[in-house]
Amino acid sequence: MFTISNGSVQARQMRRTLRDKVPYPKRLIHNYPSVLIGRLAVNENFQGNGIGSEILDFLKIWFSDSHNKTGCRFLAVDAYNAPSVLKFYGNNEFSFIFKSEKEERESLQLHENEPLRTRMMCCDLFHYAESLRKSLVAVSQKRY
């Protein structure tokens, strides 16, 4: 099960490595359109079978095809700040928006002793779409 909504990734919050992947004229934009994953859940009886990753693959394909529903560049999530959750999103091509928890805490204006419950992460759909297209071309060439 998943929920999504339109959102944005603020350019000033993005790590330089993410920002550098955006073509120069578009780097002047302050907010990049995104699709925000509000919830992603798999019934506990079916966890560990790759269903969560399949849902993310579906969302990546759905929003990176030539008929992009929202004109978004990123798929974003505020992931629970737990090692297993962060590893799951990392394994599914999501990167931290902030370089460190300290930077994220400062941006959110949290006090040092206040817990950072979530970490902002995103997947660049443009680069995902490019690798998907290359894979599809390679598969189609093998068939013929």
More confident residue, 89 or 67: 89
- The torsion angles phi and psi of 127, rounded to 5 degrees, stand at -70, -30
Q: Within 13 Å of residue 66, how many CA atoms lie on the same side as its CB?
A: 1
Q: How confident is the model at residue 73 (pLDDT cuts 50, 70, 90)?
A: confident
What pLDDT is recorded for position 126? 80
The structure's pTM equals 0.78
**Which of residues 112 and 122 earns the better pLDDT score?**
122
Instruction: Specify the CATH number of the domain 2-143.
Output: 3.40.630.30
The C-alpha atoms of residue 28 and residue 72 are separated, in whole angstroms, by 16
Q: What percent of the chain has a predicted confidence (pLDDT) above 90? A: 42
Mean pLDDT of 34-39: 93
Q: Where are the domains of the chain?
A: 2-143
Residue at token pair 């962060």: 86
List the one residue out of 144, 94, 93 whose CA is nearest residue 119. 94
Assign 62 a pLDDT band (cuts: 50, 70, 90): confident
93: its two tokens: 């091509």
